[in-house]
Amino acid sequence: MKIAITGSNGFIGSAVVTYLQQKQVTVHRLVRHKAALTANDIFWHPATKMIESHKLEGMDGIVHLAAESIYGYWTKKKRERIWNSRVHGTAFLAGEIAKLKTPPRFFLSISASGYYGNRPGEVLREESGPGEGYLPSVCTEWEAAANKVKEIGVRTIHPRPGLILARHGGALSTMLPFFKLCLGGPIAGGKHIFSWITLQDAVAALYHLMMNEKISGAVNVASPYPVSNKEFVKALGRAIHRPAVLPIPAFLLRLLYGGLPDETLLTNCHLDPNRLIESGFVFRHEKIDGAMNYVFEKEFL
């Protein structure tokens, strides 16, 4: 099996590449820097609309994970990069796939739970519809751009993961500095709901979605046991042997990260993963304490 993948150097993408190779899949990375190309790689540069599209012919699948990280201070330019990498980058890739004489059997284009926005009191299913705000707008257009491939009959999947737990990236990377200094605790009262998934389960779920020919469209990718932010940070504190009692006010996060917290760390997002579960996927880490212990079992702090 041959699969092409964008975003292979990201913390999700690098894990996906390793997983695919363990499954004896031949991986072709789409790389933006010619100097970094190796034998199986494919050059592309979405900002300048350059791609070796002929090398995509005959792929079994294409996995699109490339996107500007949402983490960091949200300046105007940062927001533009978030939008352009997702919406314009995906539209360009999807347009090139749609021109192929031998298109792939599937196109997995990552999305995000940010699609739903801040939804207190709701259990969010794939048909719940987008929320209000910047990230819901980004995700809506992001998925729409990928659907150009769906129009030519290719099975198209939009995974919407919750917070992906890993030591080296994602939401935990914004929280760990506080905890390492014993300054961690509930964010803005800690009552809002976090949907989460370990990186190990997220990668396995993405592979499951690639291989299951009956699944297409949006799929929530998160543990069936979401927790409040207070429960989340207490589990994190236990895993790294740090207290989690010092409240972190919302204004401090806004000072450090701009508009990011209001659309991520401060939102209520209770994802329902039943569609994923009913398709046969089995989680290795369903409960938050076991998940945090797994993530940090070899971490020295």
The full set of domains in the chain, from first to last, is 2-296 (3.40.50.720)
The sign of the CA dihedral 294, 239, 176, 70 is positive
Task: Please give the order of strands across the beta sheet that includes 42-45.
Answer: 50-51, 42-45, 26-31, 2-6, 61-64, 106-109, 155-161, 217-221
pLDDT, tens digit (0-9, with 9 covering 90-100), for 154-167: 999 999 999 999 98
| Predicted local distance difference test score (pLDDT) of residue 297 | 86
The pLDDT confidence band at residue 282, using thresholds 50, 70 and 90, is very high
Share of the chain above pLDDT 70, in %: 99
pLDDT, tens digit (0-9, with 9 covering 90-100), for 95-120: 999 999 999 999 999 999 999 999 99
Q: Which residues contact 62 (CB under 8 A, 6 or more apart)?
A: 3, 4, 5, 56, 93, 97, 104, 106, 107, 108
Q: How far apart are CA 71 and CA 266, in angstroms?
A: 14
Average pLDDT along the chain: 95
| Predicted local distance difference test score (pLDDT) of residue 160 | 99
The larger pLDDT score, comparing residue 23 to residue 183, is at 23
pLDDT, tens digit (0-9, with 9 covering 90-100), for 58-68: 999 999 999 99
Q: How far apart are CA 12 and CA 112, in angstroms?
A: 13
Is the per-residue pLDDT at 301 higher than 50? no
Tokens found for residue 277 = 């579960």
| Predicted local distance difference test score (pLDDT) of residue 298 | 54
pLDDT, tens digit (0-9, with 9 covering 90-100), for 183-239: 999 999 999 999 999 999 999 999 999 999 999 999 999 999 999 999 999 999 999
